[in-house]
Amino acid sequence: MSKPIECKKCGKLNKADAPVCWSCGSDIQPKLTPKEAIHEEIKYRHEVLHKRHVRRFWIFTFIAILVTFGFVMVNSIYGVMRDVNPNDYVSSVQIYTVDDKTYIDIEIEGINMNQTSLRIKSIILSNEDTTLEISGNKDIEWDVIYAYGIFRARLIISTPVAELDVYDTVKVKFSYMFFSSILPVPQENLYFE
Protein backbone atom coordinates (compact mmCIF):
# COMPACT_ATOMS: atom_id res chain seq x y z
CA MET A 1 0.00 0.00 0.00
CA SER A 2 3.07 2.21 -0.01
CA LYS A 3 3.34 4.81 -2.72
CA PRO A 4 5.45 3.74 -5.72
CA ILE A 5 8.56 5.79 -6.38
CA GLU A 6 9.18 7.36 -9.78
CA CYS A 7 12.77 7.31 -11.03
CA LYS A 8 13.94 10.87 -11.69
CA LYS A 9 16.32 9.67 -14.37
CA CYS A 10 14.17 7.38 -16.56
CA GLY A 11 10.62 8.06 -15.24
CA LYS A 12 9.75 4.40 -14.49
CA LEU A 13 7.71 3.51 -11.38
CA ASN A 14 9.36 1.31 -8.76
CA LYS A 15 8.26 -0.38 -5.56
CA ALA A 16 8.38 1.88 -2.53
CA ASP A 17 11.06 -0.19 -0.83
CA ALA A 18 13.27 -0.61 -3.94
CA PRO A 19 16.75 0.84 -3.31
CA VAL A 20 17.46 1.36 -7.04
CA CYS A 21 15.40 1.72 -10.24
CA TRP A 22 14.64 -1.62 -11.82
CA SER A 23 15.07 -0.07 -15.28
CA CYS A 24 18.15 2.10 -15.15
CA GLY A 25 19.74 1.21 -11.79
CA SER A 26 19.74 4.76 -10.45
CA ASP A 27 19.39 5.42 -6.74
CA ILE A 28 15.71 6.21 -6.22
CA GLN A 29 15.23 6.32 -2.46
CA PRO A 30 14.60 9.91 -1.38
CA LYS A 31 16.82 11.23 1.31
CA LEU A 32 14.11 11.74 3.93
CA THR A 33 14.41 11.78 7.66
CA PRO A 34 12.43 9.01 9.40
CA LYS A 35 9.86 11.58 10.50
CA GLU A 36 9.41 12.82 6.91
CA ALA A 37 9.16 9.26 5.60
CA ILE A 38 6.40 8.44 8.09
CA HIS A 39 4.61 11.66 7.18
CA GLU A 40 4.81 10.81 3.43
CA GLU A 41 3.52 7.27 4.06
CA ILE A 42 0.56 8.55 6.12
CA LYS A 43 -0.23 11.14 3.45
CA TYR A 44 -0.20 8.49 0.70
CA ARG A 45 -2.42 6.09 2.67
CA HIS A 46 -4.84 8.92 3.37
CA GLU A 47 -5.05 9.68 -0.37
CA VAL A 48 -5.73 6.02 -1.20
CA LEU A 49 -8.43 5.72 1.48
CA HIS A 50 -9.99 9.01 0.38
CA LYS A 51 -10.26 7.74 -3.23
CA ARG A 52 -11.91 4.54 -1.98
CA HIS A 53 -14.40 6.50 0.12
CA VAL A 54 -15.24 8.80 -2.79
CA ARG A 55 -15.74 5.80 -5.10
CA ARG A 56 -18.01 4.10 -2.54
CA PHE A 57 -19.95 7.33 -2.05
CA TRP A 58 -20.67 7.63 -5.78
CA ILE A 59 -21.62 3.96 -6.08
CA PHE A 60 -24.08 4.24 -3.19
CA THR A 61 -25.40 7.55 -4.55
CA PHE A 62 -25.97 5.95 -7.95
CA ILE A 63 -27.78 3.00 -6.36
CA ALA A 64 -29.92 5.35 -4.26
CA ILE A 65 -30.87 7.35 -7.35
CA LEU A 66 -31.79 4.15 -9.20
CA VAL A 67 -33.91 2.91 -6.30
CA THR A 68 -35.64 6.30 -5.99
CA PHE A 69 -36.26 6.46 -9.74
CA GLY A 70 -37.61 2.91 -9.68
CA PHE A 71 -39.91 3.74 -6.78
CA VAL A 72 -41.22 6.83 -8.57
CA MET A 73 -41.80 4.83 -11.76
CA VAL A 74 -43.57 2.02 -9.90
CA ASN A 75 -45.68 4.57 -8.06
CA SER A 76 -46.65 6.32 -11.29
CA ILE A 77 -47.37 3.05 -13.08
CA TYR A 78 -49.25 1.50 -10.19
CA GLY A 79 -50.79 4.88 -9.46
CA VAL A 80 -54.12 5.36 -7.80
CA MET A 81 -55.12 1.71 -7.99
CA ARG A 82 -53.01 0.24 -5.20
CA ASP A 83 -54.85 1.59 -2.15
CA VAL A 84 -58.37 2.02 -3.43
CA ASN A 85 -60.99 1.78 -0.73
CA PRO A 86 -64.24 0.12 -1.93
CA ASN A 87 -66.13 3.06 -0.42
CA ASP A 88 -64.30 5.50 -2.71
CA TYR A 89 -65.80 4.25 -5.96
CA VAL A 90 -69.09 3.00 -7.35
CA SER A 91 -69.01 -0.13 -9.48
CA SER A 92 -71.38 -2.50 -11.18
CA VAL A 93 -71.19 -5.58 -13.40
CA GLN A 94 -73.97 -6.62 -15.75
CA ILE A 95 -73.90 -9.98 -17.52
CA TYR A 96 -76.53 -10.56 -20.19
CA THR A 97 -77.20 -12.37 -23.49
CA VAL A 98 -77.88 -10.86 -26.91
CA ASP A 99 -78.03 -13.02 -30.07
CA ASP A 100 -76.45 -16.05 -28.38
CA LYS A 101 -73.49 -14.00 -27.14
CA THR A 102 -72.82 -13.17 -23.54
CA TYR A 103 -71.91 -9.57 -22.76
CA ILE A 104 -70.02 -8.60 -19.63
CA ASP A 105 -70.36 -4.88 -18.93
CA ILE A 106 -68.31 -3.29 -16.17
CA GLU A 107 -68.76 0.27 -14.94
CA ILE A 108 -66.56 1.94 -12.34
CA GLU A 109 -66.95 5.55 -11.26
CA GLY A 110 -64.73 7.48 -8.86
CA ILE A 111 -61.23 6.36 -9.91
CA ASN A 112 -59.08 8.57 -12.12
CA MET A 113 -57.84 6.09 -14.71
CA ASN A 114 -55.62 8.76 -16.30
CA GLN A 115 -53.29 8.55 -13.29
CA THR A 116 -52.39 4.91 -13.80
CA SER A 117 -51.04 2.68 -16.55
CA LEU A 118 -53.00 -0.29 -15.23
CA ARG A 119 -55.44 -1.74 -17.73
CA ILE A 120 -58.33 -4.11 -17.25
CA LYS A 121 -57.20 -7.73 -17.41
CA SER A 122 -60.05 -9.90 -16.23
CA ILE A 123 -63.19 -10.34 -14.20
CA ILE A 124 -63.14 -12.87 -11.37
CA LEU A 125 -66.42 -14.58 -10.50
CA SER A 126 -66.58 -16.80 -7.45
CA ASN A 127 -68.83 -18.53 -4.95
CA GLU A 128 -68.14 -20.73 -1.94
CA ASP A 129 -66.98 -23.63 -4.10
CA THR A 130 -65.30 -22.33 -7.24
CA THR A 131 -63.65 -19.34 -8.86
CA LEU A 132 -63.75 -18.43 -12.53
CA GLU A 133 -61.49 -15.80 -14.09
CA ILE A 134 -62.59 -14.48 -17.48
CA SER A 135 -60.03 -12.46 -19.38
CA GLY A 136 -59.65 -11.08 -22.85
CA ASN A 137 -57.06 -12.23 -25.34
CA LYS A 138 -55.82 -11.13 -28.75
CA ASP A 139 -58.96 -12.55 -30.42
CA ILE A 140 -61.45 -11.31 -27.83
CA GLU A 141 -60.39 -7.99 -26.35
CA TRP A 142 -61.95 -5.76 -23.76
CA ASP A 143 -63.73 -2.78 -25.32
CA VAL A 144 -62.83 0.08 -22.96
CA ILE A 145 -64.11 3.65 -22.70
CA TYR A 146 -63.05 6.15 -20.06
CA ALA A 147 -64.81 9.51 -20.13
CA TYR A 148 -66.15 12.00 -17.60
CA GLY A 149 -64.67 10.01 -14.73
CA ILE A 150 -66.56 6.83 -15.62
CA PHE A 151 -64.68 3.70 -16.69
CA ARG A 152 -66.66 1.28 -18.86
CA ALA A 153 -65.45 -2.04 -20.23
CA ARG A 154 -67.20 -4.73 -22.26
CA LEU A 155 -66.17 -8.25 -23.12
CA ILE A 156 -68.18 -10.50 -25.41
CA ILE A 157 -67.84 -14.24 -24.72
CA SER A 158 -69.58 -17.43 -25.83
CA THR A 159 -70.26 -18.87 -22.36
CA PRO A 160 -74.03 -18.81 -21.65
CA VAL A 161 -75.29 -16.67 -18.77
CA ALA A 162 -76.84 -19.77 -17.19
CA GLU A 163 -73.32 -21.06 -16.46
CA LEU A 164 -72.30 -17.79 -14.84
CA ASP A 165 -75.26 -16.91 -12.63
CA VAL A 166 -74.16 -19.49 -10.02
CA TYR A 167 -71.49 -17.02 -8.89
CA ASP A 168 -72.30 -14.43 -6.26
CA THR A 169 -69.02 -12.54 -5.85
CA VAL A 170 -67.26 -10.50 -8.49
CA LYS A 171 -63.92 -8.67 -8.65
CA VAL A 172 -62.31 -6.71 -11.47
CA LYS A 173 -58.58 -7.25 -12.01
CA PHE A 174 -56.37 -4.54 -13.47
CA SER A 175 -52.74 -5.15 -14.39
CA TYR A 176 -49.66 -3.68 -16.05
CA MET A 177 -46.51 -5.73 -16.62
CA PHE A 178 -46.13 -7.56 -13.30
CA PHE A 179 -48.30 -5.14 -11.26
CA SER A 180 -51.93 -5.89 -10.57
CA SER A 181 -54.79 -4.58 -8.49
CA ILE A 182 -58.16 -6.18 -7.78
CA LEU A 183 -61.28 -4.11 -7.13
CA PRO A 184 -64.24 -5.85 -5.52
CA VAL A 185 -67.74 -5.12 -6.79
CA PRO A 186 -70.56 -5.18 -4.20
CA GLN A 187 -72.79 -8.23 -4.54
CA GLU A 188 -75.89 -6.06 -4.91
CA ASN A 189 -74.31 -4.47 -8.03
CA LEU A 190 -73.88 -7.78 -9.86
CA TYR A 191 -76.69 -8.26 -12.37
CA PHE A 192 -77.51 -11.32 -14.47
CA GLU A 193 -80.14 -11.02 -17.20
Q: What CATH number is given to the structural domain containing 184? A: 2.60.40
Q: Are residues 104 and 162 in the same domain?
A: yes
Q: Among 79, 98, 118, identify where a domain stops.
A: 79
Rounded to whole angstroms, the Cα distance separating 118 from 146 reads 13
pLDDT at 77: 57
Q: Are residues 54 and 147 in the same domain?
A: no
Q: Are residues 35 and 126 in the same domain?
A: no
Q: Are residues 72 and 100 in the same domain?
A: no
Rounded to whole angstroms, the Cα distance separating 22 from 179 reads 63
pLDDT at 138: 80
Q: Are residues 95 and 136 in the same domain?
A: yes
pLDDT at 63: 95
Q: Are residues 96 and 177 in the same domain?
A: yes
Q: Among 44, 79, 114, identify where a domain stops.
A: 79
pLDDT at 54: 92
Q: Are residues 108 and 159 in the same domain?
A: yes
**Which residue segment(s) compose the domain that 151 sits in?**
86-192
Provide the mean pLDDT of the chain: 82
The CB density around residue 64, as the number of other CB atoms within 10 Å, is 10
Over 90: is that where the pLDDT of 170 sits? Answer: no
Q: Are residues 17 and 66 in the same domain?
A: yes
Question: Structurally, how many domains does the chain consist of?
Answer: 2
Average pLDDT estimate for 44-48: 86
Q: Are residues 138 and 178 in the same domain?
A: yes
String of DSSP letters for the chain: -PPPEE-TTT--EE-TT-SB-TTT--B------HHHHHHHHHHHHHHHHHHHHHHHHHHHHHHHHHHHHHHHHHHHHHGGGTT--GGG-EEEEEEEEETTEEEEEEEEES--GGG---EEEEEEEE-SS-EEEEE--SSS--EEEEETTEEEEEEEESS-GGGTTT--EEEEEEEETTEEEEEEE-GGGEEE-
How much is the pTM? 0.56
Over 70: is that where the pLDDT of 79 sits? Answer: no
Q: Rounded to a whole number, what is the distance in angstroms from the first to the last CA of the chain?
A: 83
Q: Are residues 27 and 91 in the same domain?
A: no
Over 80: is that where the pLDDT of 118 sits? Answer: no
Q: Among 79, 95, 125, identify where a domain stops.
A: 79
Q: How confident is the model at residue 56 (pLDDT cuts 50, 70, 90)?
A: very high
Q: Are residues 24 and 71 in the same domain?
A: yes
Average pLDDT estimate for 80-107: 80
Q: How confident is the model at residue 86 (pLDDT cuts 50, 70, 90)?
A: low
Q: Are residues 112 and 145 in the same domain?
A: yes
